[in-house]
Amino acid sequence: MDARLMQPVATRTARSQPPRKTAQAPVRRARKVPARRAAPAPPSVGRQAGLHTTEDELDLRSAVALVVDRETDEVLFSKNPQAVLPIASITKLMTALLVVEAGLALDEELAVTPEDVRATARSNSRRRLAPGTTLTRGEMLHLALMASENRAAQVLGRTYPGGLEAFIEAMNARAALLGMSDTRFVEPTGLSSDNRSSARDLARLVRAASEHPLIREYSTASDTVVETGRRQVQFRNTNGLVHNPEWDIAVQKTGYIAAAGRCLVLQAQMAGRQLIMVLLDSAGRYSRIGDAERLRRWLFASTGLARANAAPATATARTLADDGEAGDASDEGDEGDDGDSGAAGRDEGRPEGASAQPR
């Protein structure tokens, strides 16, 4: 007999029926939430004043530019040198000058306090120097000059004899002694747009700072690693020109806040002379570097000392400056501030990441 006829009727019926479809709940698609765009930075003080409409023969992106001979004070290039503008982290050159000239112990340990955190609330220093971080005064000075570290600069001012108020008074007194009649300081980091100066005044500051070997060394160092509690953190220079063999820089400082734009001051050997260069309120993250390169090439060409093989090393900076104003990022530091430096952390030997700081 056929085996299929021997099966129970119910079994044969169940097998012959098509499978039932299980009802499924409707799939909800996640609503796309539009990404929040960062609000555009307000125009800088220089742009509001119309300084960017000033034309110059090199088509610089900086609203203010000045090149002077350090020894003779001869002006070789000038654009809006009388303008008094926010100077962002260029401030830290004066902070360093006071600390060095006061002869304070560089091996004294200083701690970042909640007060320092509140004072630099607009800065991205929280990624590096957390409250309670203890470093020597020398390390704080190194980070303030090289990496435009805002909390380090704040600690240096707070721990000055007499405290922060006395430090700010000393900043303005030293500026007066240097003949910086257009200059006013209200705090030691450069985060405040009320720290203001002119190109001529800043050339005087650069000249004074360059007389101190420690400021020259720290401001032009490529990078450094410091112990912050259980971690080692690497800090890098906010100025890429210190890595460029075409540049022989003795002292430098970058700066950035929205009100100031991108700023750069330096002293370097160019065309056989020690020259001081000041660039203020440059539009675009890399434009101050491009402007510095334009000025350097122009100086070599105008003095007949240009080398036939000098141009290739500057091609990248020239392209960045000419082809677009790469978005501003707040840094350091120089931000507030400079935004150009990197800090890579290592916790017990494991890479932790990197951050960019101005200003």
Active site residues: 89, 92, 148
Give the closest residue to 302 by CA, choosing from 294, 291, 313.
294
What does the alpha-carbon distance between residue 233 and residue 229 come to, in Å, rounded to a whole number? 10
CB of 173 within 8 A of CB of 58? no
| CA–CA gap between residue 330 and residue 325 (Å, rounded) | 15
Kindly give, in sequence order, each residue whose CB lies less than 8 Å from that of residue 86, ignoring residues fewer than 6 positions away. 44, 45, 193, 194, 195, 196, 257, 259, 260
Do the Cβ atoms of 255 and 359 come closer than 8 Å? yes
Assess contact for 95 and 188: CB atoms under 8 A.
yes
**Residues paired with 197 in a beta bridge:** 85
For strand 196-197 and strand 134-136, is the pairing parallel, antiparallel, or unpaired? unpaired
- What is the C-alpha end-to-end distance of the chain, expressed in Å? 94
Q: How far apart are CA 54 and CA 207, in angstroms?
A: 27
Contacts of 328 (CB under 8 A, 6+ apart): 41, 256, 258, 262, 284, 285, 339
